[in-house]
């Protein structure tokens, strides 16, 4: 969700806010000036209008910031600026990076208006400063030590973090960003793509140290100059856009088939979402059967195929679904045999989600041998990806790939034929890469709020990679590619409060209690219009089936409702058995919920923080309906009494990724609306996964299917693209 904030406060309002502040005359050269500062995920802009003595109007453009973080803070920041008439504002808790960017941008505008652009930085006191910042990890703050000597940042050490419990991305930010901050002597350097939240926390730690050393962090935000060079790369057969799972698997099969391959990856590391998964579905892999099933087949593939066709309700894409079923085992074997991939067991922790008898269909990557590290959602297996990519790269001297290089558009000739890819590197250099064919592997559109709203009418909370912003799909569309089942529901299996409290305003146990109250099925559940969740059950009794039924919906959220009496009783008599048993998959914060029946004396404190962070609301039905834009009559009916105080706790679904995609045929060739293919353009992984699914429904929910598709589609596309060069 992004927004351009254009609320403008008038001088009159300013005066009423600022009271009777005395202003010097001739401080500024009257006019309108725009300054910019590096925010969480964008360049934030502040446009301020100055009279000779004061700021009379200010507009913030935070359109590139996540609305739930920076976007929501912008109005408050604007008010603070008008009140203080300077960049010395408090900022907004939970949006530190955006706040710092706004301060820097305003300071830039003030410097222009006062003609002091080249002012010296405020002097810093030497020392090593210990700081902390909320980051991606849900189990605690990131902590670090910053050494300052002779007005320079000389060392940054991260001493504690919980980001890497979920995946590798903290290490990527740490190893790449810290040297860049020190080299540029600036916290205005770009965050590392793929690790923006960890990067933001590191920058916030450095900013806090600068402030504690007596400086102003906003003076340390100058962004290093970007290159405007355009470089050409040519002589390639196959260009792979995105080196997550499906991209690097395409790269491997294209290289093995003899093609000269170039890969580009926007993030600071390969792997994408595919780096943090448990593992793929693999039907009758010979290697797995040999190792774990006495060489015997372990699933009836016809049964899987028929169930699948029944599920999607059409055989329109039968040729593709046949590949997904009948080649899932052999694709896995191909990568095991040729690129040394390794998997452990069958079934493992998770059987099929929907057909209990398919108990062996899901396998799991073998964890890194050295430390057997497991993340929250699966084993560390980037080492396997890297080894495979290295092997494929070595298959031809020409083969190459680049990280931190973001594809922006397809290059075409005058007849509209695809001739390559235009991409921009983190240092600003533009690359025009020519090749005979292009494979799109950018992992869907979970990171694109506008596209999510267009497709579903709602944004989606994410635990997946937000680098995946639909660029691949848009590139395909730009040359006439059609989409297929774009509105298949995104992958959602995890529920939590919508605004996870990552700072230490609550203890881990208090956070666990809040999550349990918000997500338990043992409460009256209210939908976003104010009605009891679902249409059949108007009695107000718990109906957990309804909750599960809509758990795949985008923007999935509902409210658990409690009356004042129920809250008072919870304080005294504790949680119910059901609520005390709630556990949060993947996004639990490490705390323990007390046993059912144990008094919760600090419940008021927990609720206060929940209300402050927009995770809960308190009021009469009338007040709640107003606050949450619900139908008052429906809400009053659902809650029971117009004069009673109620509490609504929000529960939200978190998505791994989107599923709807470009339309492809059984060779992974992108198809046009008229069904003809674009011969040298392919799409794999989530950029083509709609073809195995159904518009408006949850994705084919067998278990491991999404990851399996990266192997099947990757192998087919790489070989098909390589074949075009012959």
Ligand X SMILES: Cc1cc2nc3c(=O)[nH]c(=O)nc-3n(C[C@H](O)[C@H](O)[C@H](O)COP(=O)(O)OP(=O)(O)OC[C@H]3O[C@@H](n4cnc5c(N)ncnc54)[C@H](O)[C@@H]3O)c2cc1C
- Please identify, using beta-carbon distances, which residue of 555 and 685 lies nearer to ligand X: 685
Q: Minimum Å distance from CB 353 to ligand X? A: 11
Q: Minimum Å distance from CB 407 to ligand X? A: 4
Beta bridge partners of 617: 648
From 467, 517, 526, 691, residue interacting with ligand X (rule: CB under 6 A):
467
295 within 8 A of 394, measured Cβ to Cβ: no
* Alpha helices (H) in 245-381, listed in sequence order: 245-256, 286-292, 301-312, 318-326, 328-339
657 within 8 A of 465, measured Cβ to Cβ: yes
- Please identify, using beta-carbon distances, which residue of 59 and 265 lies nearer to ligand X: 265
> Interface with ligand X includes 407 (CB under 6 A)?
yes
- Please identify, using beta-carbon distances, which residue of 122 and 477 lies nearer to ligand X: 477
- Please identify, using beta-carbon distances, which residue of 208 and 705 lies nearer to ligand X: 705
Segment near ligand X (CB under 6 A); pick from 260-268, 409-417, 531-539, 561-569: 260-268
From 39, 71, 194, 555, residue interacting with ligand X (rule: CB under 6 A):
194
Segment near ligand X (CB under 6 A); pick from 337-345, 435-443, 521-529, 590-598: 435-443
Q: What is the DSSP letter of 368?
A: P
591 to 650, contacts with ligand X by CB under 6 A? none
Nearest to 119 by CA among 226, 22, 224, 215: 215
Beta bridge partners of 55: 50
C-alpha 488/C-alpha 468 separation (Å) is 17
193 within 8 A of 406, measured Cβ to Cβ: yes
Segment near ligand X (CB under 6 A); pick from 424-432, 467-475, 495-503, 569-577: 467-475
- Please identify, using beta-carbon distances, which residue of 49 and 274 lies nearer to ligand X: 274
- Please identify, using beta-carbon distances, which residue of 265 and 449 lies nearer to ligand X: 265
From 448, 483, 560, 707, residue interacting with ligand X (rule: CB under 6 A):
707
The set of residues, in sequence order, having a beta carbon less than 8 Å from that of 648 and lying 6+ positions away, is 526, 559, 560, 561, 616, 617, 618, 624, 628
Report the DSSP pairing between strands 374-375 and 405-412.
unpaired
Segment near ligand X (CB under 6 A); pick from 64-72, 123-131, 201-209, 278-286: 278-286
- Please identify, using beta-carbon distances, which residue of 33 and 169 lies nearer to ligand X: 169
Pick left, alpha or beta for residue 370 (phi over 0 → left; psi -120 to 50 → alpha; otherwise beta). Answer: alpha
Backbone angles phi, psi at 399, to 5 degrees: -55, 140
The set of residues, in sequence order, having a beta carbon less than 8 Å from that of 175 and lying 6+ positions away, is none
- Please identify, using beta-carbon distances, which residue of 72 and 325 lies nearer to ligand X: 325
Contact flags string 85-124 toward ligand X, x per CB under 6 A: ----------------------------------------
> Interface with ligand X includes 443 (CB under 6 A)?
yes
> Interface with ligand X includes 137 (CB under 6 A)?
no
From 81, 241, 512, 582, residue interacting with ligand X (rule: CB under 6 A):
241
- Please identify, using beta-carbon distances, which residue of 241 and 523 lies nearer to ligand X: 241
Segment near ligand X (CB under 6 A); pick from 56-64, 235-243, 304-312, 396-404: 235-243
- Please identify, using beta-carbon distances, which residue of 653 and 657 lies nearer to ligand X: 657
Beta bridge partners of 239: 262, 438
> Interface with ligand X includes 242 (CB under 6 A)?
yes
For the record, the structure tokens of 262 come out as 């170039």
From 137, 140, 555, 704, residue interacting with ligand X (rule: CB under 6 A):
704
> Interface with ligand X includes 718 (CB under 6 A)?
no
> Interface with ligand X includes 377 (CB under 6 A)?
yes
> Interface with ligand X includes 379 (CB under 6 A)?
no
> Interface with ligand X includes 266 (CB under 6 A)?
yes
> Interface with ligand X includes 276 (CB under 6 A)?
yes
- Please identify, using beta-carbon distances, which residue of 425 and 667 lies nearer to ligand X: 425
Segment near ligand X (CB under 6 A); pick from 129-137, 450-458, 575-583, 703-711: 703-711
> Interface with ligand X includes 60 (CB under 6 A)?
no
> Interface with ligand X includes 215 (CB under 6 A)?
no
C-alpha 226/C-alpha 424 separation (Å) is 11
Q: What angle do CA 693, 694, 700 make, to 5 degrees?
A: 45
> Interface with ligand X includes 261 (CB under 6 A)?
no
**Site residue total, ligand X (CB under 6 A):** 42
199 within 8 A of 189, measured Cβ to Cβ: no
45 within 8 A of 105, measured Cβ to Cβ: yes
C-alpha 92/C-alpha 77 separation (Å) is 7
Q: What angle do CA 390, 395, 399 make, to 5 degrees?
A: 75
- Please identify, using beta-carbon distances, which residue of 78 and 669 lies nearer to ligand X: 669
439 within 8 A of 679, measured Cβ to Cβ: no
542 within 8 A of 622, measured Cβ to Cβ: no
Segment near ligand X (CB under 6 A); pick from 53-61, 308-316, 323-331, 704-712: 704-712
- Please identify, using beta-carbon distances, which residue of 471 and 560 lies nearer to ligand X: 471
> Interface with ligand X includes 343 (CB under 6 A)?
no
From 706, 712, 716, 721, residue interacting with ligand X (rule: CB under 6 A):
706
Place of tokens 């395909």: 476
Which residue in the shown chain puts its C-beta closest to ligand X? 244
Q: With helix as H, strand as E and coil as C, how does 200-268 read?
A: HHHHHHHHHHHHHCCCCHHHHCCCCCCCCCEEEEEEEEEEEECCEHHHHHHHHHHHHCCCCEEEECCCC
H/E element, 432: strand 430-440
> Interface with ligand X includes 278 (CB under 6 A)?
yes
- Please identify, using beta-carbon distances, which residue of 61 and 465 lies nearer to ligand X: 465
Segment near ligand X (CB under 6 A); pick from 72-80, 171-179, 277-285, 716-724: 277-285
Nearest to 601 by CA among 567, 578, 577: 567
- Please identify, using beta-carbon distances, which residue of 277 and 681 lies nearer to ligand X: 277
- Please identify, using beta-carbon distances, which residue of 407 and 638 lies nearer to ligand X: 407
From 132, 171, 217, 273, residue interacting with ligand X (rule: CB under 6 A):
273
> Interface with ligand X includes 247 (CB under 6 A)?
yes
668 to 687, contacts with ligand X by CB under 6 A? 685-686
> Interface with ligand X includes 512 (CB under 6 A)?
no
Segment near ligand X (CB under 6 A); pick from 43-51, 81-89, 139-147, 439-447: 439-447
- DSSP codes of every residue in 16-84: HHH-S----SSSS-SEEEEEEEE-SSSEEEEEEEE-SSSEEEEEEE-TTS-IIIIIHHHHHHHHHHHHH
Beta bridge partners of 291: none
From 85, 274, 589, 615, residue interacting with ligand X (rule: CB under 6 A):
274
Report the DSSP pairing between strands 430-440 and 677-683.
parallel
Expressed in percent and rounded to 5, the helix, strand and coil fractions of the chain are: 35, 20, 45
Q: Minimum Å distance from CB 258 to ligand X? A: 23
The set of residues, in sequence order, having a beta carbon less than 8 Å from that of 521 and lying 6+ positions away, is 542, 544, 547, 578
Segment near ligand X (CB under 6 A); pick from 146-154, 270-278, 351-359, 560-568: 270-278
Nearest to 452 by CA among 700, 688, 658, 650: 658
> Interface with ligand X includes 463 (CB under 6 A)?
yes
> Interface with ligand X includes 442 (CB under 6 A)?
yes
C-alpha 295/C-alpha 676 separation (Å) is 41
310, 315, 317, 322: CA torsion to nearest 10? 70
C-alpha 384/C-alpha 391 separation (Å) is 11
> Interface with ligand X includes 254 (CB under 6 A)?
no
Q: Which residues bind ligand X (CB under 6 A)?
A: 194, 241-247, 264-267, 272-274, 276-280, 377-378, 406-407, 441-443, 463-465, 467-468, 471, 656-657, 685-686, 704-707, 710
């Amino acid at each position: 969700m992004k927004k351009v904030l254009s609320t403008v406060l008038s001088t009159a309002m300013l005066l009423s806010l600022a009271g009777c502040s005395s202003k010097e005359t001739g401080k500024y050269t009257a006019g309108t000036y725009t300054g910019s500062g590096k925010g969480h995920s964008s360049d934030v802009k502040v446009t301020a209008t100055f009279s000779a003595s004061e700021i009379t109007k200010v507009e913030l453009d935070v359109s590139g910031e996540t609305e739930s973080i920076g976007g929501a803070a912008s109005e408050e920041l604007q008010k603070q600026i008008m009140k203080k008439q300077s960049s010395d504002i408090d900022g907004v808790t939970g949006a530190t990076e955006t706040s710092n960017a706004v301060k820097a941008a305003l300071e830039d505008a003030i410097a222009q208006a006062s003609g002091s652009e080249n002012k010296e930085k405020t002097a810093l006191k030497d020392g090593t400063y210990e700081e902390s910042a909320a980051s991606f990890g849900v189990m605690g703050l990131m902590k670090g030590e910053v050494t300052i000597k002779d007005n320079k940042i000389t060392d940054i050490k991260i001493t504690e973090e919980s980001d890497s419990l979920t995946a590798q991305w903290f290490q990527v930010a740490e190893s790449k960003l810290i040297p860049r901050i020190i080299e540029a002597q600036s916290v205005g350097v770009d965050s590392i793509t793929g690790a923006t939240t960890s990067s933001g926390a590191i920058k916030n730690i450095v900013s806090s140290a600068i402030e504690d050393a007596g400086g102003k962090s906003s003076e340390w935000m100058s962004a290093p100059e970007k290159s405007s060079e355009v470089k050409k790369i040519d002589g390639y057969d196959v260009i792979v856009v995105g080196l997550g799972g499906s991209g690097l698997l395409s790269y491997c099969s294209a290289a093995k088939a003899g093609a000269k391959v170039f890969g580009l990856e926007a993030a600071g590391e390969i792997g994408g979402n595919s780096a943090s998964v448990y593992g793929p579905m693999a039907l009758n892999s010979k290697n797995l059967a040999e190792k774990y099933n006495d060489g015997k087949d372990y699933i009836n593939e016809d049964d899987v195929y028929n169930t699948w066709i029944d599920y999607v309700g059409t055989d329109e894409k039968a040729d593709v679904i046949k590949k997904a079923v009948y080649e899932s085992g052999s694709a896995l074997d191909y990568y095991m045999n040729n690129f040394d991939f390794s998997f452990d067991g069958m079934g493992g922790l998770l059987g099929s989600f929907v057909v209990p008898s398919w108990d062996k269909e899901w396998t799991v990557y073998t964890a890194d041998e050295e430390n057997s590290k497991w993340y929250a959602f699966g084993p560390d297996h980037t080492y396997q990806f890297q080894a495979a990519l290295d092997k494929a790269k070595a298959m031809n001297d020409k083969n190459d790939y680049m990280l931190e290089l973001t594809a922006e558009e397809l290059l075409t000739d005058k007849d509209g034929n695809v001739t390559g890819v235009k991409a921009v590197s983190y240092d600003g250099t533009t690359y025009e890469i020519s090749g005979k064919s292009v494979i799109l592997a950018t992992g869907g559109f979970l990171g694109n709020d506008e596209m999510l709203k267009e497709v579903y009418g709602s944004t989606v909370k994410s635990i997946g990679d937000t680098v995946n912003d639909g660029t691949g799909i848009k590139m395909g569309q730009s040359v006439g590619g059609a989409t297929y089942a774009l509105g298949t529901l995104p992958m959602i299996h995890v529920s939590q409060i919508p605004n996870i409290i990552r700072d230490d305003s609550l203890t881990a146990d208090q956070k666990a209690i809040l999550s349990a109250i918000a997500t338990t099925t043992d409460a009256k559940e209210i939908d976003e219009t104010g009605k009891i969740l679902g249409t059949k059950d108007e009695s107000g009794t718990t109906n957990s089936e309804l909750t599960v039924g809509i758990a795949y919906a985008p923007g999935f959220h509902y409210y658990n409702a409690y009356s004042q009496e129920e809250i008072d009783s919870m304080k005294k008599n504790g949680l119910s058995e059901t609520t005390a048993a709630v556990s949060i998959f993947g996004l639990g914060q490490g705390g323990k919920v007390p046993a059912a029946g144990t008094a919760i004396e600090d419940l008021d404190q927990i609720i206060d923080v929940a209300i402050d962070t927009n995770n809960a609301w308190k009021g009469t039905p009338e007040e709640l309906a107003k606050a949450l834009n619900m139908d008052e009559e429906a809400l009053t009916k659902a809650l029971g009494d117009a004069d009673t105080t109620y509490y609504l706790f929000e529960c939200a679904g978190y998505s791994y990724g989107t599923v709807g995609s470009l339309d492809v045929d059984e060779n992974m060739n992108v198809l046009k609306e008229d069904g003809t293919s674009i011969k040298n353009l392919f799409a794999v992984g989530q950029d083509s996964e709609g073809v195995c699914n159904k518009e408006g429904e949850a994705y084919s929910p067998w278990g491991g299917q999404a990851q399996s598709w990266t192997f099947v589609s990757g192998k087919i596309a790489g070989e098909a693209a390589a074949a075009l060069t012959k």
